[in-house]
Structure 1
Amino acid sequence: MKSTSKDAVLIFSESLVPTVRKALCDPLEEVREAAAKTFEQLHATIGHQALDDILPTLLKQLADEDTAEFALDGLKQVMAVKSRSVLPYLVPKLTAPPVNTRVLAFLSAVAGDALTRHLGVILPALLSSLKGKLGTEEEAQELCSCQTVILSVEDEAGQRIIIEDLLEATRGADPGLRQAAITVLNAYFARTRLDYSAHIRTLLSGLIRLLNDSNAEVLSQSWDTINSITKKLDASSQLALIDDLHRDIRAVAADVKGQHLPGFCLPKKGVTCILSVLREGVLTGSPEQKEEAAKALGGVIRLTSPEALRPSVVNITGPLIRILGDRFAWTVKTALLETLTLLLAKVRLLRC
């Protein structure tokens, strides 16, 4: 085909296309690899017609148990050589209901940067599919496929789309989609190796808001996601978050109107997901950061039930008492004393 004109290839396409189509599903991997290179040349010669003549048949063969494994690898081989042309063709078909998350996950490994261009279509499809599997035996496998897709995105633009679109989905009215979105976010931050430091402020703001969600699973997944993020922060990164974290705590306190925040009252979890950040602020921050951290701790104590606060009493009290003995401005010590007073009141309630 490299040595043949387009007209000649078109004349013999009735013989060439079935041959390439069959070779892409051959039991031998070497044959499938060679067929993909032939497909690449065929596409270079006759363009979009090669996609129309070959890919639909491969997709149909995914439903056949005898050929599914070979057809899937054939698609992968084609993607490896022509991802920028093949992916736009496949994405609408794979994301149409019922969404084929298994194939999307398999192909995303070889899609490279081309995957980022289609995240706007792929992410809503993944969430919709996962939502339908929540609470079923298929949920774990569906989540694994979703995780594989988003972890395959390795460029900064793709990461930004993932974070922004999933956070946006957590703000929706549909509780199933909110749960699906935070579940995928949690799976992403538990495994990603990319640097997401530029997005931490936005992430924590959105996640803390979710600690007031009416869905118990959303609460748990949000808490776990916050914990995944904060436990990886170094001291300087923790200190940089103090002001924003205090602002977010005030905002969520206004939302609950004097009630406890459900996400801070989860059994065996409590406030430990953000406690390390506030402790660092009290212990090593500037005087201004110490004051902000102490006030933020006071806000957290107000939002937490005595029972949920019990495991963290020592971790909160120690830094506050230690800093009271040092020479700091009265505003810092006032904030520390007010927070200790709140804590003692909660502990007294606990003992009663």
Structure 2
Amino acid sequence: SKLGESVLPQIIPVLRKSLYEGDEHTKRGVCVGLTDVIKCSSKEQILRFLEIITKLVQDALSDDDAEVRSMASESFQSLYTLVGNQAFDEIVPSLMVALANDDNETAQRRALNGLTGILAVRSRELLPYIVPRLITRPISVNHARALGRISAVTGATIHTHFHSIISNTILDLAE
């Protein structure tokens, strides 16, 4: 393995504590450290800590600070490179649930932050999963807003979904 077996159990709690208790500068440092840890670990090592690591990446992707989110996107990219679709499977469903929570605007905002962070680096893979869920009729105001934010970060790839987005939106408006 690239990283000693004893390093992950020691470094993960430090990164977690710093992410949840630190200021923006500390959180940015956590993202850099997390990216490096992922890059220097074997797939087997990461899989042993996948639940904790994906939660850290998800929370960093959902942060209110744009720079933290940008750096967390790099962490996600490294994680995806190592474990593939498991990175999506561990993070995206919970973000979609939070996005649908009409009772909690903070959770919605953070979920949309997280989704747009992932889409910034992996839109081709994620849009086919997200778009059908956002255009399920009736399209909620929240989902319409999400489509707007998502379109802003996926300009090069969202066009392949325009037909379904526009046709469902028009059908929804016609009712």
TM-score range, shorter chain: 0.5 to 0.7
Q: Identify unmatched segments of 5+ residues in structure 2.
A: 1-37
**1:77 maps to which of 86, 111, 117:** 117
Shift of the alpha carbon at 1:90? 0.8
Shift of the alpha carbon at 1:19? 1.1
Max Rg structure: 1
- What is the aligned partner in structure 1 of residue 59 from structure 2? 22
Shift of the alpha carbon at 1:120? 3.0
Which whole-Å CA distance do the structure 2 matches of 1:21 and 1:130 have between them?
34
Shift of the alpha carbon at 1:43? 1.3
Please tell me whether residue 130 in structure 1 is matched to residue 169 in structure 2. Answer: no
**1:53 maps to which of 75, 90, 104:** 90
Please tell me whether residue 120 in structure 1 is matched to residue 120 in structure 2. Answer: no
- What is the aligned partner in structure 1 of residue 27 from structure 2? none
> In 2, are the aligned partners of 1:21 and 1:54 still within 8 Å (CA)?
yes
**1:34 maps to which of 64, 67, 71:** 71
> In 1, are the aligned partners of 2:39 and 2:78 still within 8 Å (CA)?
yes
> In 2, are the aligned partners of 1:76 and 1:106 still within 8 Å (CA)?
yes
Shift of the alpha carbon at 1:13? 0.3
Q: What does 1:96-115 align with in structure 2 at a 5 Å threshold?
A: 96-99=136-139, 100-115=143-158
Shift of the alpha carbon at 1:131? 2.1
TM-score (norm 2): 0.68
TM-score (norm 1): 0.35
Query: For 1:149-199, what per-residue CA distance to the aligned partner results, in whole angstroms no more than 9, with x for missing partners?
Result: xxxxxxxxxxxxxxxxxxxxxxxxxxxxxxxxxxxxxxxxxxxxxxxxxxx
Shift of the alpha carbon at 1:129? 2.4
> In 1, are the aligned partners of 2:58 and 2:114 still within 8 Å (CA)?
no
Which whole-Å CA distance do the structure 2 matches of 1:6 and 1:97 have between them?
40
Q: What does 1:2-13 align with in structure 2 at a 5 Å threshold?
A: 2-13=39-50
Q: What does 1:1-352 align with in structure 2 at a 5 Å threshold?
A: 1-62=38-99, 63=101, 64-99=104-139, 100-132=143-175
Which whole-Å CA distance do the structure 2 matches of 1:18 and 1:111 have between them?
24
- What is the aligned partner in structure 1 of residue 8 from structure 2? none
Query: For 1:28-82, what per-residue CA distance to the aligned partner results, in whole angstroms no more than 9, with x for missing partners?
Result: 2222222221111111211112112111211222222122223222222221111
> In 1, are the aligned partners of 2:69 and 2:117 still within 8 Å (CA)?
yes
Pair 98,5 (structure 1): closer, same or farther in 2 beyond 3 Å: farther
Identity of aligned residues (%): 37
Paired letter, 1:126 = T
Structure 1 runs (4+) deviating above 6 angstroms are none
Shift of the alpha carbon at 1:96? 1.7
**Structure with larger RCO (C-alpha < 8 A, sep 6+):** 2
Q: In angstroms, what is the RMSD of aligned CA positions?
A: 1.7
Paired letter, 2:172 = S
> In 2, are the aligned partners of 1:58 and 1:71 still within 8 Å (CA)?
yes
Paired letter, 1:70 = R
Secondary structure in structure 1 of the residue aligned to 2:71: helix
Pair 41,98 (structure 1): closer, same or farther in 2 beyond 3 Å: farther
Which whole-Å CA distance do the structure 1 matches of 2:81 and 2:121 have between them?
11
